[in-house]
Amino acid sequence: MKINIIGGGPAGMYFAILMKKADPAHEITVYERNGPDDTFGWGVVFSGKTLANLRAADEESHAEITRAFAAWDNVDVVHGLEKISIHGNSFSGIARLQLLKILQRRCEQLGVRLLFRTEVPDLDSLRINCELLVAADGVNSTARKQYSKHFLPTLDLRPNRYIWYGTNRLFHGLTLTFRENEAGVFAAHSYKFNQTTSTFIIECDQETWKTAGFATMGDDETRAYLEKVFAPDLDGQPLLSNNSKWINFLLVKNEHWFFENVVMIGDALHTAHFSIGSGTKLALEDAIALFDCLRKTGTVAGALRQFESTRKPVIEEYQAAAFESMRWFENARDYMPLSPIELAYSLMSRSGRIGDDDLRRRDPEFIARYERR
Ligand SMILES: Cc1cc2nc3c(=O)[nH]c(=O)nc-3n(C[C@H](O)[C@H](O)[C@H](O)COP(=O)(O)OP(=O)(O)OC[C@H]3O[C@@H](n4cnc5c(N)ncnc54)[C@H](O)[C@@H]3O)c2cc1C
């Protein structure tokens, strides 16, 4: 089969790997606008369950990914002078660039054609010269725009602002830190993803952002301001920028997932708020799901229909949980009067996916302390 893929992110490359591994006769080309070493951001997070899915799908890349991992089992909530640790939450972090390098090497090993620095401005010509066109072209997908009348997307730009930094201060665990100043409330989502670096994402509401005056601040001034806000947490380490900019989270959904022989996967198709840390997981699992549908049905038309009907309910459930989590952070200032233990409990149960019984199983000490409060 001839397959064209737009986007050499996790979704596009992983799908290429699975297809080429299953049948080396497939002719697969990945078109990627960036070079092999360009990337945005710092580290990404996976749960233990995602790793099991990756192992079942491709042992070779799973082995490399887990070798490069920083793993932990605690969520830490920092509020005022107190840090509350909640154990029993198995997660691992990896640098996004390192993950992409592992997938690039695996593609090359299997014979997938990777065309870097190749922008696809128009999909029609690519679509007609292949049997399957996979649009894995990320949150600002060209495919979604070009075929919007078929896909019927809804795009919801959320009010909070966030900025994605790194730091050499190591956070051993998924750490959620809340700091207040005269402008308002700031939340940091941080976690170590290798031996020297942590991701440090800072989020605040619109009012805080305006009052702080970020609209007229340059990059260095913004960083200096935020280093001051999080001075108690950074241990004197600076925030590291990777052309970091303030952005608003874009919530993406699509009524239809495919059109003729074009299908979307990953962030092009759906997004889930980064506070439940599952964008890359969903992208990779989309690739596995689409691959499975092709294997089972044996036809492109049948596979795309099955992909939409079986995968959509799974994604909708995730997006519903991520929505609750996102709303919690949008309303973070309302939770600031809570005591640290109450705040930690509220955070752990925010998505509606983790109840008291789960918490009791994961960390009986924590739930006992909450009940004694
Ligand atoms: C602040 C923040 C924190 C996050 N934290 C986490 C986390 O902790 N854990 C997690 O799992 N995920 C996280 N994510 C999400 C994660 O980064 C994405 O969900 C994931 O990368 C989606 O993979 P993808 O392959 O669908 O898209 P992308 O990784 O965006 O890849 C799309 C690729 O397509 C290319 N492209 C686009 N258009 C074209 C074109 N026309 N022609 C050629 N190439 C094109 C782009 O250059 C890009 O390389 C976070 C995201 C943000 C913003």
Contact by Cβ (8 Å): 238, 289: no
How far apart are the C-alpha atoms of 200 and 163, rounded to whole Å?
9
- pLDDT reported for residue 68: 81
Instruction: Report the nearest-CA residue for atom 21 of ligand 1.
Output: 280
Rounded mean pLDDT for each run of 10 residues along the chain, 373 residues in total? 98 98 98 88 84 94 90 93 93 91 97 97 92 98 98 98 96 95 97 92 98 97 98 98 95 98 98 89 97 97 98 96 95 97 95 89 94 91
- pLDDT reported for residue 41: 66
Identify any residues that bridge with 70 across adjacent strands, giving them in sequence order.
93
Sign of CA dihedral 368, 370, 371, 373: positive
**Backbone φ, ψ for residue 57 (5° rounding):** -80, -45
By most ligand atoms within 8 Å of CB, the mutation choice from 5, 13, 15, 32 for ligand 1 is: 32
- In the reported structure, the alpha carbon of residue 321 is separated from the centroid of ligand 1 by a whole-number distance in angstroms of 20
- Ligand 1 pocket member 184 (CB < 6 A): no
pTM to 2 decimal places: 0.94
How far apart are the C-alpha atoms of 240 and 200, rounded to whole Å?
9
Q: Which residues, 6 or more positions from 215, have their beta carbon under 8 angstroms from its beta carbon?
A: 209
How far apart are the C-alpha atoms of 303 and 137, rounded to whole Å?
20
Q: Which residue, 11, 113, 119, is CA-closest to 57? A: 11
- pLDDT reported for residue 40: 67
Q: Where are the alpha helices (DSSP H) in 162-275?
A: 206-212, 219-229, 231-234
Measured at the alpha carbon of residue 89, what is the angle toward residues 12 and 97, in degrees to the nearest 5? Answer: 30
